[in-house]
């Protein structure tokens, strides 16, 4: 095999060293800890029929510290505005609530509604008012979209659940008309238009989505190729407010069609909500965990229904569900080189499992961080290429081997670097806030101050010297290295000669050898790094040494 010297600049050489991979195994952390955009959440609402009830920063902080939560569900009831614009005072109160959410490091599931009174006539608002209010809320929703986990479609009907409505039809009186669905779609499309394409809007049932967008269930479910592309269909998820109360969850008309459709859709969409009553046939731990996994549940309201959560605690699955709602990534093993040269590829593998029920709901960064161990300077590199991180990371319940290839810049300073994984929120306003970074379920890896996950490996970045070393079948041994005066070289074939270059490519000395081993005198060389070129038969071989 023949060696090639690439001249990049005068007297500059590129030297590539073979570098074996070293394995590492990681230890799982089975405790419950908070992670962004997932898990159990508390419910909170405010009404215009009484004085505004603001969110409390200290309450949210206690949810995080004591209950390991990162999500709050906030319903805004607007009883006083069914025939008028939303008041500026109410809009200001919404802004203040979202500011509290931000200060607490939370994300919010939002819903707007006009009534919680289930008596007829239903006290929701006409379409013209709904659309006017959505327009009024546009600026608030857009400027706070970074901390909005999902926006529930709301607005229509009692509780904003799209059922008991005086203006958009009520299935309690028979099938909805084509006009009813047209009006509902106009509201949903308006909500989608005021939110960034990176955010999802949730509907109450799959029939609503399928009917409004002419989908056939179950075949028109999202796929990996149609997910996360910014289309309306890729942004319409689900909130189920009666999970496990019956075989149909008071949500599905035809479970044989709608459940498979929802299960397929929710692989790539948000699924959240609450239970509404205990039914041991369906709420028992075995069935509950099966359905949570099947429908890829991301978050659940822990305040309703208490009887269901009491059952899960008594049957022993509550803590398991707390861990598995949404995503839960853990490292299993890794394989890393010990060094890399400037301008070359750093290649390694991570084996990771997603033990959760779902993927992350919103976009996410995946960065390799190289932190210089001497001065703590950090350098970051995207790990996932052009693949959406939600598809690059393991799917729910699966294990994947992630192969990472990153080009180390020629300008990266030489030195020892710690390797870390950063799964940060891509919004600039949240990117540096560790509350919004994903923590892996491994022991001794999480850095709470930075939001990074340690990969428990260091790597040496060496100066690029310009000579590229080939792999060979000859045995070529050198010792000692580092060297003070002379170095002993030996091979299983006669060594014809050796040339010594400095790191800039200048020839410092040459020696004819003509035998299988010899001592090479280097005492006249200054301290530093040198490249030795050996000629054996018709092949050239290169080795790096340090001169003390």
Q: Which residue has the tokens 């009491």?
A: 310
Instruction: Read off the pLDDT band of 309 (50, 70, 90).
Output: very high
Mean pLDDT, residues 143-148 taken together:
98
**How far, in Å, CA of 455 to CA of 442, rounded?**
10
Q: Which residue(s) pair with 491 in the sheet?
A: 476
**How far, in Å, CA of 300 to CA of 275, rounded?**
8
Instruction: Read off the pLDDT band of 70 (50, 70, 90).
Output: very high
- Give me the CATH code for the 471-547 domain, please: 2.60.40.1220
8 A C-beta contact, residue 111 and residue 241: no
State whether residue 141 is helix, strand or coil: helix
Of 11-15, 180-184, 340-344, which gets the smallest average pLDDT?
11-15
State whether residue 138 is helix, strand or coil: helix
Span 450-489, pLDDT tens digits: 999 999 999 999 986 554 444 444 578 888 889 999 999 9
* 46: its two tokens: 């405010």
Instruction: Read off the pLDDT band of 93 (50, 70, 90).
Output: very high
| pLDDT for position 11 | 32
Q: Which residue(s) pair with 164 in the sheet?
A: none
State whether residue 363 is helix, strand or coil: coil
In sequence order, which residues have a C-beta less than 8 Å from that of residue 363 and are 6 or more positions away? 198, 228, 388, 389, 390, 426
| pLDDT for position 136 | 98
State whether residue 195 is helix, strand or coil: coil
Mean pLDDT, residues 493-504 taken together:
85
Distance, CA of 272 to chain centre:
18
Report the topology of domain 329-462: Coagulation Factor XIII; Chain A, domain 1 (2.70.50)
Q: Which residue(s) pair with 237 in the sheet?
A: 202
| pLDDT for position 390 | 97
**How far, in Å, CA of 540 to CA of 361, rounded?**
54
| pLDDT for position 307 | 98
Q: Where are the beta strands (DSSP E) in 121-171?
A: 148-152
326: left (phi over 0), alpha (psi -120 to 50) or beta: left
Instruction: Read off the pLDDT band of 544 (50, 70, 90).
Output: confident
**How far, in Å, CA of 210 to CA of 207, rounded?**
5
pLDDT > 90 in the chain, percent: 81
Q: Which residue has the tokens 């600039």?
A: 428
Q: Which residue has the tokens 């989608």?
A: 192
| pLDDT for position 18 | 42
Q: Is the pLDDT of residue 52 over 70?
A: yes
8 A C-beta contact, residue 90 and residue 49: no
| pLDDT for position 463 | 82
In sequence order, which residues have a C-beta less than 8 Å from that of residue 143 and are 6 or more positions away? none
Q: Is the pLDDT of residue 423 over 70?
A: yes
**HEC secondary structure over 306-325:** HHHHHHHHHHCCHHHHHHHC
Q: Is the pLDDT of residue 409 over 80?
A: yes
8 A C-beta contact, residue 97 and residue 141: no
How many Cβ atoms from other residues are within 10 Å of residue 411's Cβ?
Answer: 8
**How far, in Å, CA of 215 to CA of 506, rounded?**
70
Q: Is the pLDDT of residue 513 over 90?
A: yes
């Amino acid at each position: 095999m023949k060696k090639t010297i690439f001249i990049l600049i005068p007297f500059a050489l590129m030297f590539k060293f073979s570098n074996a991979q070293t394995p590492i195994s990681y230890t799982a952390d089975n405790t419950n800890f908070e992670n962004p955009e997932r898990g159990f959440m508390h419910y909170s609402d405010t009404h215009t029929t009484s004085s505004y009830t603001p969110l409390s920063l200290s309450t949210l902080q206690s949810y995080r510290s004591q209950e390991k939560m990162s999500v709050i569900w906030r319903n805004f009831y607007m009883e006083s505005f069914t025939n008028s614009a939303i008041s500026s005072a109410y809009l200001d109160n919404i802004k203040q609530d979202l500011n509290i959410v931000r200060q607490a490091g939370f994300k919010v599931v939002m819903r707007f509604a006009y009534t919680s009174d289930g008596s007829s006539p239903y006290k929701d608002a006409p379409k013209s008012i709904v659309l006017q209010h959505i327009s009024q809320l546009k600026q608030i929703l857009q400027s706070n979209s970074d901390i909005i986990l999902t926006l529930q479609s709301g607005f229509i009907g009692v509780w904003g659940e799209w059922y008991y409505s005086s203006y958009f039809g009520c299935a309690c009186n028979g099938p909805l008309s084509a006009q009813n669905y047209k009006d509902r779609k106009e509201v949903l499309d308006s909500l989608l238009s005021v939110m960034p394409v990176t955010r999802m809007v949730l509907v109450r049932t799959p029939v609503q989505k399928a009917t409004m967008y002419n989908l056939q269930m179950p075949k028109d479910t999202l796929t990996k190729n149609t997910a996360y592309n910014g289309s309306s269909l890729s942004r319409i998820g689900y909130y189920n407010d009666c999970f496990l109360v019956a075989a149909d969850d008071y949500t599905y008309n035809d479970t044989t069609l709608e459940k498979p459709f929802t299960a397929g859709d929710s692989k790539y969409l948000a699924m959240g909500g609450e239970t509404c009553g205990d039914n041991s046939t369906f709420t028992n731990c075995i069935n509950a965990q099966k359905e949570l996994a099947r429908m890829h549940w991301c978050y659940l309201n822990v305040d309703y229904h208490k009887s269901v959560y009491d059952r899960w605690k008594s049957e022993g699955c509550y803590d398991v569900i707390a861990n598995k709602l949404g995503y839960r990534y853990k490292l299993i093993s890794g394989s890393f080189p010990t060094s890399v040269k400037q301008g070359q590829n750093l290649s390694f593998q991570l084996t990771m499992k997603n033990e959760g029920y779902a993927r992350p709901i919103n976009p996410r960064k995946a960065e390799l961080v190289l932190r210089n161990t001497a001065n703590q300077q950090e350098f970051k590199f995207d790990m996932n290429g052009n693949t959406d991180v939600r598809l690059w990371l393991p799917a729910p319940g699966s294990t994947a081997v992630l192969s990472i290839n990153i080009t180390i810049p020629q300008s990266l300073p030489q030195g020892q670097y710690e390797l870390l994984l950063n799964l940060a929120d891509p919004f600039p306003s949240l990117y540096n806030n560790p509350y919004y970074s994903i923590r892996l379920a491994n022991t001794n890896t999480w850095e709470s101050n930075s939001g990074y996950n340690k990969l428990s490996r260091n790597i040496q970045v060496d100066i690029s010297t310009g000579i590229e070393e080939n792999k060979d079948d000859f045995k070529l041994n050198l010792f000692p290295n580092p060297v003070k005066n002379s170095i002993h070289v030996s091979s299983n074939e006669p060594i014809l000669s050796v040339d010594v270059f400095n790191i800039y490519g200048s020839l410092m000395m040459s020696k004819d050898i003509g035998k299988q081993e010899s001592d090479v005198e280097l005492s006249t060389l200054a301290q530093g790094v040198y490249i030795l070129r050996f000629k054996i038969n018709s092949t050239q071989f290169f080795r790096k040494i340090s001169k003390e």
